[in-house]
């Protein structure tokens, strides 16, 4: 599908071409959906290690004496809980309780934070930040165009990172570290979007290719694979992570998305708190719910979910899960309290395929349970 607009390219564009990546338009970015095979890339991450170019993600630096006060105001999660060297997953609520974006906030120093935002929302977020900064003594810098980002994910990720950045292997889950790579100030966080152990390198554009090539070369003995967005989407859905714009957005709240643990109503005032407090007290009318097919078939986004023969909602993300060897999906169902095991159906190609309600995440990696 051509929109006539020129696609943006990451610093790794040539590397993707050379590796045979199948490049597609992803929110205006030309990125590989896969190299050889989504299934093999998925397996690499679950069994060994995968590399992802996630340079389309945005980076906003927040610094100054009021950096924490500002972040507390715009985040649903309690940013005061993280000190230097720690990161936290959070939602940016709008006044109605809807979600402007889902982000990872890293505390680099007491008065300096990094907010990693989604690609499609980076400009919207930054405009929102500027509006909300008001009289607070805070400096905002959108460095999305200057930084690239590489995710290294899988049970062998730590062993691979040890070869390139030994200091990063000491990071706990959701740890954040500022360090020099090739003489260039960089950031590594022990985060990811796959449900496996791993880190994300956040580095200036001019060293992205070197980091990528070194990870590929050093990772050969670990069976490392470059992985595309296709595998990433399957991995994150199995792990129960939200895809902003598809699973949650300005019209759907954190509670409705079943991510209530992100909202810290006891932390003080923040944007959207009254609306969220009301939702919590009254309960939600719809909830993002996981389903698993009980027969062969591949559910897709948009497929109706039938409860007692009546459409209770549509799937917003769905796929074949290689880990479960079954079709899985999440959708907002207007019966928010369905118990796991409840029998439902998904309409696929005009057939009602038997399915059941399951707890999300669909898959919890045995590799993660051990360490973290």
Using the rule CB under 8 A, which residue among 4, 6, 135, 349 binds another protein?
349
Round to whole Å and give the CA distance between 180 and 188: 10
DSSP E strand stretches across 219-349: 224-227, 287-293, 304-307, 310-321, 326-333, 343-348
Task: Answer for the pair 151, 196: CB distance below 8 angstroms, yes or no.
Answer: no
Residue 19 binds to another protein (criterion: CB under 8 A): no
Task: Answer for the pair 318, 303: CB distance below 8 angstroms, yes or no.
Answer: yes
Task: Answer for the pair 67, 80: CB distance below 8 angstroms, yes or no.
Answer: no
Q: Which stretch binds another protein (CB under 8 A): 118-126, 295-303, 328-336, 359-367?
A: 295-303
Query: H-helix or E-strand containing 53?
Result: strand 49-53
Q: Which stretch binds another protein (CB under 8 A): 212-220, 305-313, 314-322, 358-366?
A: 314-322
Residue recorded with tokens 């998305």: 257
Q: Quick check: helix, strand or coil at residue 19? A: coil
Q: Whose Cβ is closer to another protein: residue 119's or residue 318's?
A: 318
Residue 298 binds to another protein (criterion: CB under 8 A): yes
Residue 296 binds to another protein (criterion: CB under 8 A): yes
Round to whole Å and give the CA distance between 55 and 30: 11
Using the rule CB under 8 A, which residue among 112, 173, 300, 314 binds another protein?
300
Which candidate, 102, 49, 115, places its Cα nearest to that of 76? 102
Least separation in angstroms between residue 317's CB and another protein is: 13
Residue 320 binds to another protein (criterion: CB under 8 A): yes
Question: What is the side-by-side order of every strand in the sheet holding 29-34?
Answer: 8-9, 29-34, 22-26
Rg (CA), the chain: 20
Round to whole Å and give the CA distance between 209 and 205: 8
Round to whole Å and give the CA distance between 224 and 205: 22
307: which DSSP letter? Answer: E
Q: Whose Cβ is closer to another protein: residue 290's or residue 299's?
A: 299
Q: Whose Cβ is closer to another protein: residue 102's or residue 247's?
A: 247
Q: Which stretch binds another protein (CB under 8 A): 113-121, 190-198, 318-326, 357-365?
A: 318-326
Residue 234 binds to another protein (criterion: CB under 8 A): yes
Q: Whose Cβ is closer to another protein: residue 125's or residue 233's?
A: 233
Q: Whose Cβ is closer to another protein: residue 177's or residue 234's?
A: 234
Residue 319 binds to another protein (criterion: CB under 8 A): yes
Q: Whose Cβ is closer to another protein: residue 36's or residue 178's?
A: 36
Q: Which stretch binds another protein (CB under 8 A): 30-38, 199-207, 284-292, 356-364?
A: 30-38
DSSP 59-84: EEEEESTTHHHHHHHH-SS-GGG--T
Q: Which stretch binds another protein (CB under 8 A): 197-205, 262-270, 315-323, 332-340?
A: 315-323
Q: Whose Cβ is closer to another protein: residue 33's or residue 306's?
A: 33
Angle between helices 38-47 and 229-238 (to 10 degrees): 50
String marking each residue 178-217 x if it binds another protein according to CB under 8 A = ----------------------------------------
Residue recorded with tokens 């917003």: 316
Using the rule CB under 8 A, which residue among 23, 39, 216, 294 binds another protein?
39
Q: Is 113 left (phi over 0), alpha (psi -120 to 50) or beta?
A: beta
Least separation in angstroms between residue 140's CB and another protein is: 37
Label the pairing between strands 224-227 and 351-358: unpaired
Interface with another protein (CB under 8 A), residue total 16
Using the rule CB under 8 A, which residue among 37, 63, 94, 342 binds another protein?
37
Residue ranges binding another protein (CB under 8 A) = 33-34, 36-39, 230, 234, 296-298, 300, 319-320, 322, 349
């Amino acid at each position: 599908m051509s929109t006539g607009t020129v696609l943006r390219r990451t610093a790794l564009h040539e590397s993707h071409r050379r590796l045979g990546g199948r490049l597609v338009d992803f929110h205006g970015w030309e990125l590989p959906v896969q190299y050889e095979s989504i299934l093999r890339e998925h397996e690499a991450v679950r069994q060994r290690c995968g590399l992802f170019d996630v340079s389309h993600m945005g980076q906003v630096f927040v610094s100054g004496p009021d950096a924490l006060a500002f972040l507390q105001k715009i985040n649903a999660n309690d940013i005061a809980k993280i000190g230097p060297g720690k990161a936290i997953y959070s939602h940016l609520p709008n006044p109605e309780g809807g979600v402007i974006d889902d982000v990872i906030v890293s505390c680099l120093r007491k008065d300096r934070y990094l907010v990693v935002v989604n690609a499609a929302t980076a400009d919207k977020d930054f405009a929102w930040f500027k509006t909300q900064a008001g009289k607070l003594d805070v400096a905002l810098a959108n460095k999305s165009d200057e930084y690239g980002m590489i995710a290294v994910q899988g049970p062998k990720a730590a062993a691979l990172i040890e070869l390139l950045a030994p200091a990063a292997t000491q990071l706990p889950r959701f740890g954040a570290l500022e360090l020099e790579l090739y003489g260039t100030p960089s950031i590594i966080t022990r985060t990811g979007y796959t449900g496996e152990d791993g880190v994300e390198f956040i580095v200036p554009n001019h060293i992205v290719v070197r980091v990528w090539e070194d990870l590929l070369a050093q990772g050969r003995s670990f069976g490392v694979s470059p992985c595309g967005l296709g595998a990433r989407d399957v991995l994150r859905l199995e792990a129960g992570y939200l895809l902003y714009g598809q699973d949650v957005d300005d019209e759907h709240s954190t509670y409705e998305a079943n991510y209530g643990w992100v909202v810290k109503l006891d932390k003080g005032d923040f944007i959207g708190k009254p609306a969220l407090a009301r939702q919590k007290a009254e309960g939600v009318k719809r909830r993002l719910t996981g389903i698993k097919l009980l027969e062969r078939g591949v559910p897709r986004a948009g497929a109706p979910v039938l409860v007692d023969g009546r459409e209770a909602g549509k799937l917003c993300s769905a796929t074949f899960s290689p880990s479960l060897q079954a079709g899985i999906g999440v959708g907002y169902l207007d019966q928010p309290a369905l118990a796991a095991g409840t029998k439902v159906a998904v309409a696929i190609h005009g057939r009602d395929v038997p399915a059941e309600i399951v707890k999300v995440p669909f898959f919890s990696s045995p590799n993660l349970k051990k360490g973290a």
